[in-house]
Amino acid sequence: MYITKDGEEIFVIDGHVHYWDASPENQLNVHGEEFINCFHDYQKNLSPKEYIWPREKFLKYDKETIVHDLFVSGYVDMAIFQPTYLTDFYKNGFNTVERDAELVREYPNRFIVNGAFDPRDGERGLENLEYQVETYGIKGVKLYTAEWRGDSKGYKLTDPMCYRYLEKCRELGIKNIHVHKGPTITPLNKDAFDVGDVDEVASVFKDLNFIVEHVGLPRLEDFCWIATQESNVYGGLAVALPFVHARPRYFAEIISELLFWLDENRIFFGSDYAIWHPKWLIEKFIEFELPEDIKQETGVDLTMDVKKKILGENIARLYDIDIEAQKEKLRDDVLIS
């Protein structure tokens, strides 16, 4: 369902959604429970109260729920799955490419699935990356540098094996490298999400796009200093955007810093669904205005043209989405109307 402002339709691409299974049956150990509880706490602490789910629903939701929340009530036109496996915490993985792909097959004009890799998988993982391209046609990957694997509590993008994977991405035509660099999540380690390793790989792999999910929070300043030097570094607003409701002044500071350092062409909307519902995020973002003192200090403004870029136009460019052609495809979409 399109959102309109002053009679104009705004095309929305949600660049960060999940279709997870954190049910007790899928939890491998106490860490699986800790992880999803932390996610639920984020929802409870930053959402309007009417959008807080009961824990049972939050653990595992069905496809009808995600399709309705994104495309029927949530104003989203297209959405990109960002998988996270967490196989040390969940028997069948938390949010997997395979599970996401089920919805892509059913709603091919609505969903895009990204792949994933972990350099600790070695040669086998490189073969699997080829398989993901052949099977799912992925154009991007989601990396979770703080994920636990046995005794390993994370890795860096600058690790030698990670270089081999990034070279493989280049070879396979995977250009969009989404990296979780945001707040820590119990029981993962905060330092493993540090943004410092983005700087080197963005310099070396200039033909790849590094999308720093959650804009590095709580390391916004570090992220901005890196991104202003590296034109192939982008910022995803998932986690940052809910502050438009919970702490609007803080959100104004975040978005104005991003606009000052990166400009409006390298910032993407993401709901982080199902942590947050896109309906209220988009509504509040559309109506949000920067305070006058921040506009005067930074020299930036969050105009409607800028909001349209952030909500869809910027990420459409990275994923080769022709928005006008896509609108026509969706005009007669009776599956979810």
Output the pLDDT for position 3: 72
Residue range(s) defining the domain that contains residue 290? 3-331
Output the pLDDT for position 337: 46
Q: Is residue 262 part of a domain?
A: yes
Q: Is 233 in a helix, a strand, or coil?
A: strand
Q: Is residue 300 part of a domain?
A: yes
Q: Is residue 337 part of a domain?
A: no
CATH of the domain at 204: 3.20.20.140
263's torsion region: left (phi>0), alpha (psi -120 to 50) or beta?
left
pLDDT tier at 7 (50, 70, 90 boundaries)?
low
Output the pLDDT for position 8: 77
Please state whether beta strands 176-180 and 209-213 pair in parallel, antiparallel, or not at all (unpaired): parallel
Q: Is residue 57 part of a domain?
A: yes
Mean pLDDT for 23-32 is 98
Number of domains in the chain: 1
Q: Is residue 336 part of a domain?
A: no
Output the pLDDT for position 335: 58
Q: Is the pLDDT of residue 279 over 60?
A: yes
This prediction's pTM: 0.96
- How far apart are alpha carbons 266 and 286 in whole angstroms? 18
Question: What are the CB-based long-range contacts (under 8 Å, 24+) for 168-174?
Answer: 168/126, 168/129, 168/130, 169/129, 169/141, 169/208, 170/205, 170/207, 170/208, 172/129, 172/130, 172/133, 173/133, 173/139, 174/115, 174/129, 174/133, 174/138, 174/139, 174/140, 174/141
